[in-house]
Structure 1
Amino acid sequence: MQNGSEFDVVVAGAGPAGLASACLLAQAGCRIACIAPGIELLTSPRSDEPVRRTVALMQPAIRLLATLGVWPGKLQPGSAPLELLKIVDDTLATFSAPTVTFSSSELGEGPFGWNIPLDLLVHELAHAAKAAGVTLINASVRGCQLGAGKAELSLDTEAKLGAVVVIAADGRQSVLRRDAGISVNEWQYDQTALALSFSHTSAHHGMSVEYHKTSGPFTTVPLPGNKSSLVWMVRPHDVDPICALSEDQLAARLQLEMHGDLGLVEDVTTPATIPMTGMAARKFAANRVLLVGEAAHVVPPIGAQGLNMSLRDAAFAAEAISDALRLYEDPGSDKLCAAYDTARRADVVPRQAAVDTMNRSLISEFFPLHLGRAVGMTALQHIPPLKRRAMLEGMNPTGSLPRAMRG
């Protein structure tokens, strides 16, 4: 890549959200580059390593993948449909909530979504980006100078790139967010997430189960066959003892935590550990930089909200930019940035608040939070219209979806 290369849009970051926005903009005919360390390796042949991390994508996100040409493709055979979602109060609290089961058949629209291996998803999106003509640049962004009509990015390869507008998908420590002058609110949870997968002798019947424990959710999500992935929130002091268990010991522990619901557990993968934090940008766009994914917001893995919100970021950002270019308007203007900020804030802020409240109600010793959670779950169980509204909101957020997610 030569110094002074010019693009309509530069995307920093090659996670699912960054790659999805790059693909959408390339489909719209934009000159686009996607920058990330090791990005070219994402299109290399994949190894057959066991699945550890998966992502549960709801139907709007699946429709986005179809728009990008990667669904069903090679993704569906390695993924599992989410037909049932069950929440189990396993806190042993004085006021425990009833078990609530949500069935996609009540909505008549097929499964809620699909559980997809994360590495496979990124691999297929990277292939789609390359095929669509996205320029893939193996580098890191050192900084960005933002002018009246242009952004100039400096890379660690000493190259410089120019763009009319920039999409920051470079994670929670985003360099582009910093250089755009966008501050954040950050907080930490006294939790670490363990991510792994395992086999089991009983069928999961397409059911994801979220066991609410005093350390946070213990969530099993179906994979093809008699396999499931797991995200287990534990206290930080419990991480080392759990990770020190042998495979057989860990399998027995998981079986105990699930009360034997999936039968005999075996073939447990080594856990990946992720410290739990929260973050919210005070603006989602400013100075020709639009934030998507964890550059904009970070939430605990509860209710499959994180990546689904991030993909909506990506689709909204691509739609706003491509529409502006089609109308010969400035895609990095203050007006566009303000409109994007307003649209995404209406979606992200209430969801982030709901996830935070649910998580804190589990790990807190404050009695009214436990009582409030129990009352809320009881209402969901016994008021059918409220339960249906909750299912629809989880799948298809209130308000307009970006075009790429409408099917």
Structure 2
Amino acid sequence: MSEVDVIVAGAGPAGLAAACLMALDGRKVALVAKEQGDASDPRTVALMQPSIRLLMHLGVWPGTLKEQTQPLKKLRLVDDTGSLFKAPAITFDPAELGEEAFGWNFPLGLLIPALFARARDLGVEFPGADVASVQTYGDGVSVATTAGLRIGARVALAADGRNSILREAAQIRTNRWAYDQTALATSFDHSGAHDGISTEYHKGAGPFTTVPMPGNRSSLVWMERPARAAELMALTDTELAAEIQIGTHGELGRVSNIGPRRLFPMQGLVARDFARNRIILIGEAAHVVPPIGAQGLNMSLRDAAQAVDLMEGEDDPGQSTILADYDAARRRDVQPRQQVIDMMNRSLLSGFMAMETGRAAALTLLSQFGPLRRAVMQYGLAPSAGLPRVMRPPQGSTPALIA
């Protein structure tokens, strides 16, 4: 059996970032996963400033990634439910926080290869196979791979997704639920300028969110009832372009050149413990949220950074005190956000006038009361306290995100 300091299972952005952070911290790391990500995945991810600072720390930003990604200069919420009680449109402007941008929009097809390359540069070991089985014992954990290799370590980071094998081995239970929604993810060209503005139209079946990409192009996450999503998936590109143009009310001009598209059933998940038995959960092994407010991957990257913070300088990175501290820290960050996202999503789906009125009243208050709006923006970027070290701005300054 080969021995390392840390095993990371899963090669999504969170697992790759965790492996890079651990290697930069001087740990010997094995990343156990066969795949390097799905090149056909049409999704993009909006990474907020703390996540950008993590990428800076890893040495993958700005580099060539900056030239192929788009700054998010403003965020808009538009009540497009058709409800009798309609909230005013809200524009969140980072200038209110003294910033030029909230973050940047990354295609997963660019981010994942960049993180893979950096992990290799940092000496992360890649067995080239998935996890087949896991064994935990008093002072360590071991995994067997599908290629027949066995690797041991003092601690393992489970970034192997919502059906995590490592989470099951740690005997961590979850709460799961499903929404009557399916998300259609794609991208499209448009004749008008997006001006770096991401718009989340709140519709009766869920958010319809456009996120700017370089040039006159945007990515789209369109949450719909499953039957309607299947109908949209079956349309020709020309037909879907027309539907998107209707969905945006023509605000981006003429829609064309539809990119690859894929459907994703909407689910929620939260682990009842975020760490146990020398296994630490990060990313979707710990929490799954609908794509509202750009919270999912940003929370997952904070998982990775928090784990590294707690392990720094420790001879035994899997000791029980570290696991307990990690569980407490991540619970404070993740669970309130998950509850807010769930409430917002269910308020769109409910059809109950009381919930519609409550949502409209809350959004109206946000639009009219500056201090509350700024507090919401700040909270959306990161926790007010306990941000992992590599995600904090330099003391007394904030790094510029736009050249």
Instruction: Name the TM-score class by shorter chain.
Output: over 0.9
The partner residue of 1:252 within 233, 242, 245 is 242
Aligned equivalent of 1:374:
360
Structure 1 unaligned blocks of 5 or more: none
| Residues 311-352 of structure 1, C-alpha deviations (whole Å, 9 max, x = no match) | 00011112222x1xx243x21111111110000000000000
What CA distance in whole angstroms lies between the structure 1 residues aligned with 2:384 and 2:377?
11
The amino acid that maps onto 1:29 is G
How many angstroms does 1:32 deviate by? 0.6
**1:238 is aligned to 2:228:** yes
Q: Which runs of 4+ in 1 moved over 3 A?
A: none
What CA distance in whole angstroms lies between the structure 2 residues aligned with 1:368 and 1:37?
49
**1:28 is aligned to 2:25:** yes
**1:107 is aligned to 2:104:** no
What CA distance in whole angstroms lies between the structure 2 residues aligned with 1:311 and 1:137?
23
What CA distance in whole angstroms lies between the structure 1 residues aligned with 2:201 and 2:35?
37
**1:365 is aligned to 2:355:** no
The partner residue of 1:201 within 171, 184, 191 is 191
**1:89 is aligned to 2:75:** no
Aligned equivalent of 2:133:
143
Aligned equivalent of 1:17:
14
| Residues 24-82 of structure 1, C-alpha deviations (whole Å, 9 max, x = no match) | 1101110110011134xx6xxx98x7x82100000000000000000111211111000
> Tell me, what secondary structure is at the counterpart of 2:147?
coil
**1:169 is aligned to 2:159:** yes
Map 1:321-340 → 2, pairs under 5 A = 321=311, 323=312, 326-328=313-315, 330-340=316-326
Aligned equivalent of 1:63:
53
> Tell me, what secondary structure is at the counterpart of 2:341?
helix
| Residues 129-156 of structure 1, C-alpha deviations (whole Å, 9 max, x = no match) | 0000100121111221111101111111
> Tell me, what secondary structure is at the counterpart of 2:5?
strand
Structure 2 unaligned blocks of 5 or more: 394-403
What CA distance in whole angstroms lies between the structure 1 residues aligned with 2:128 and 2:96?
46
Aligned equivalent of 2:115:
125
> Tell me, what secondary structure is at the counterpart of 2:63?
coil
Aligned equivalent of 2:334:
348
What CA distance in whole angstroms lies between the structure 2 residues aligned with 1:242 and 1:152?
45
**1:291 is aligned to 2:281:** yes
**1:220 is aligned to 2:217:** no
The partner residue of 1:272 within 233, 254, 262 is 262
How many angstroms does 1:201 deviate by? 0.5
How many angstroms does 1:119 deviate by? 1.3
Aligned equivalent of 1:392:
378
User: TM-score, normalization: structure 1?
Assistant: 0.95
What CA distance in whole angstroms lies between the structure 1 residues aligned with 2:98 and 2:204?
34
Supply the RMSD in Å over aligned alpha carbons: 1.3
The amino acid that maps onto 1:94 is L
**1:72 is aligned to 2:58:** no
What CA distance in whole angstroms lies between the structure 1 residues aligned with 2:61 and 2:90?
31
What CA distance in whole angstroms lies between the structure 2 residues aligned with 1:38 and 1:56?
23
| Residues 290-310 of structure 1, C-alpha deviations (whole Å, 9 max, x = no match) | 000000000000000000000
Equivalent pairs, count: 393
The amino acid that maps onto 2:305 is A
User: TM-score, normalization: structure 2?
Assistant: 0.96
The amino acid that maps onto 2:392 is R
The amino acid that maps onto 2:376 is A
> Tell me, what secondary structure is at the counterpart of 1:254?
helix
